[in-house]
Structure 1
Amino acid sequence: MKNALTLSGFIAALTSLPAMAQEGLETIGKPTDGYLGFQPAGSELAEGIHQLDHMLLIIITVICLFVAGLMLYAIVRFNRRANPEAASFTHHTPVEIAWTVVPILILIVIGSFSLPELFRQQEIPEADITIKATGYQWYWGYEYVDHDFAFDSYLIGHPATITEEDEAAGVEAFINSEEMAAKLAAAGYNADEFLLATNTAVVVPVNKTIVMQVTGADVIHAWAMPAFGVKQDAVPGRLAELWFKPTKEGIYFGQCSELCGKDHAYMPITVKVVSEEAYEEWLNGAIEEYAGLPQSFQVAANN
């Protein structure tokens, strides 16, 4: 299977299929220079995580200001000059009760919002589309379980994506250059998306529940997509699951987020969220491209 997937990934690098699924799509989920905060939320899970983070930010800001105010009051009110004779008491029951009960109440409030969000991530719903993601050193393999086809996804700039024409044009593997920018542009990406864009992408329809089955073929990897609020370790011998329901059409980038060897930095993830019509069109072409059987034959075999 691995050899077959590697061959399919190489073939896909020579075709125009990856570009077909992204025409007119806006790049939404990617790192931005000088930007503080999360990437725009591209799923229901990410929206919930952002809301929880904002609530926690308000709580910790109030606590920090309150503690800082108490410290400032104590410094001014009880310094040696303002209070030359220090008090001799050692206990203050109301204060001690307050600093025990109030933190407990705060933790209960935080837990009442955070635990449901955690359970929502861990409880896998019924899938509209199931995709198996396998981490290799150093690329991802994807299998559309419901349709029996698979392909590999390499960084644009990985040696597997460098053709003889690219070499003649001066493109070097893993090197950002004007020639590499031209290669990215030919695939439909911007020059600043080097190290993010892949030669093939996971294509999914908007507003559908996607379940990713995640595993590793050699060492531990991690499938992470910040804009969707998901991250799952890919452990050899284990099949883990994550889910997301994308809410905005666009291109989203993620990366392997578990140190997995010397080319860990060159193992990006590209997900394209498209309309249902565009997905069906891509799916028909992908079945013929990757499964190796004409769509008409597939339908006849299923019947």
Structure 2
Amino acid sequence: MTAIRTLSAALAAFLAAGAARAQTAIEDLEIIGAPEQGNMGFQPAATELARDVHWLDGMLLVIITAIVLFVMGLIGYVIVRYNSKANKEPATFTHNSPLEIAWTVVPIVILVFIGAFSLPVLFKQQEIPEADLTIKVTGYQWYWGYEYVDEAVAFDSFMIGYGEGNLNDGIIEQLEEAGYSEDEFLLATDTSVIVPVGATVVMQVTGADVIHSWTVPAFGVKQDAVPGRLAELWFAAEREGIYFGQCSELCGKDHAYMPITVKVVSQEVYDDWLAGAKEEFPA
């Protein structure tokens, strides 16, 4: 009996030490995916999906800019060349077959060109690969619930300071205890999704009451959480760090107060965290 108690105590100490190491490593992570005051553009891409979206957006911007400049130049030319002063006698024709064919065919060619590049990006997002880690996420008014499907771990995630009004000393203290600063107010949550770097993570997304939307910009993912339906998205984060997201579907009065926090860690840190999470957050 004494030997069993000693073994149990040693095992508990080992798990506690692993959890402490994991917690320290998690708290030391760099914040990568977060909005920045006064900046424009995308957050740094942390997945292949996000890089594809950024590239596609840049290509479309070039095409749209060329079209806008062409149309504006054409309008300017027509204003100067065919105004009433420069063109006393207006033309009487009503049709120009070559021109009509051109302005029908050219847009079709442009759209086919765009589709040839955008559809593969869409298919890559929608074709769910085999998962290394599956997490079910449920949207509630107004917080997120997570369940690590194969690991018997489940927890709810609330915004730090939710329901306590504007930023104050108490909220700042809570943020600092969780390893954040006041700059992360409205972004940081009390519990975070922890995933290993490089792992293929499949999120099963649903809603418990109204439609929500699980979104992490740096991962290039967004999926509506519809009550009664189970949708899926996937990502494979390429860099350790902290990434923030937000519910992106208007879901009620506190829609703005249900952020998402994902922390990407090494496989070793994830394994230590998971061992502790099974004790702290049993499903």
- Give the alignment's TM-score, normalised by structure 1: 0.83
Q: 2:145: which partner in 1?
A: 141
Question: How far is 1:69 from its partner?
Answer: 0.6
Post-superposition CA distance 1:21-69 (Å, at most 9, x none): 5233111111111111111112111111111110000000000000011
In structure 1, C-alpha distance between the alignment counterparts of 2:24 and 2:194, rounded to whole Å: 11
Residue 278 of structure 1, aligned match among 238, 262, 269: 269
In structure 1, C-alpha distance between the alignment counterparts of 2:103 and 2:256, rounded to whole Å: 46
In structure 2, C-alpha distance between the alignment counterparts of 1:114 and 1:252, rounded to whole Å: 25
Q: 1:130: which partner in 2?
A: 134
1:121 correspondence with 2:112:
no
Residue 209 of structure 1, aligned match among 200, 204, 207: 200
Contact 1:21 1:203 in 2 (8 A): no
| Secondary structure of the corresponding residue to residue 142 of structure 1 | strand
In structure 1, C-alpha distance between the alignment counterparts of 2:251 and 2:260, rounded to whole Å: 15
Contact 1:21 1:282 in 2 (8 A): no
In structure 2, C-alpha distance between the alignment counterparts of 1:18 and 1:194, rounded to whole Å: 24
Post-superposition CA distance 1:100-121 (Å, at most 9, x none): 1110000000000111111111
Residue 238 of structure 1, aligned match among 229, 250, 258: 229
Query: Where do 4+ consecutive residues of structure 1 move more than 3 Å?
Result: 15-21
Q: 2:245: which partner in 1?
A: 254
Give, as a single letter, the amino acid of the residue that structure 2 aligns with 1:114.
Answer: S
Residue 228 of structure 1, aligned match among 206, 219, 236: 219
Question: How far is 1:16 from its partner?
Answer: 8.2
Post-superposition CA distance 1:164-222 (Å, at most 9, x none): xxxxxxxxx13302332222111101211111100110011111110001111222221
Q: 2:94: which partner in 1?
A: 90
Q: 2:16: which partner in 1?
A: none
In structure 2, C-alpha distance between the alignment counterparts of 1:61 and 1:232, rounded to whole Å: 29
Question: How far is 1:17 from its partner?
Answer: 9.6
| Secondary structure of the corresponding residue to residue 291 of structure 1 | coil
Contact 1:18 1:200 in 2 (8 A): no
| Secondary structure of the corresponding residue to residue 241 of structure 1 | strand
Cα RMSD for the two superposed structures: 1.9
Question: How far is 1:280 from its partner?
Answer: 1.4
Residue 49 of structure 1, aligned match among 46, 53, 78: 53
Mapping of residues 62-73 of structure 1, within 5 Å: 62-73=66-77
In structure 1, C-alpha distance between the alignment counterparts of 2:59 and 2:29, rounded to whole Å: 32
Mapping of residues 15-30 of structure 1, within 5 Å: 20=24, 22-30=26-34
Contact 1:42 1:228 in 2 (8 A): yes
Q: 1:36: which partner in 2?
A: 40
In structure 2, C-alpha distance between the alignment counterparts of 1:33 and 1:211, rounded to whole Å: 31
1:151 correspondence with 2:155:
yes
| Secondary structure of the corresponding residue to residue 83 of structure 1 | coil
With 194-203 and 133-142 compared, the bigger mean Cα shift is at 133-142
In structure 2, C-alpha distance between the alignment counterparts of 1:18 and 1:266, rounded to whole Å: 28
Q: Are the structure 2 counterparts of residues 192 and 257 from structure 1 closer, same or farther at C-alpha, using a change threshold of 3 Å?
A: same
Contact 1:25 1:251 in 2 (8 A): yes
- Where do 5+ consecutive residues of structure 1 fail to align? 1-14, 160-172, 293-303
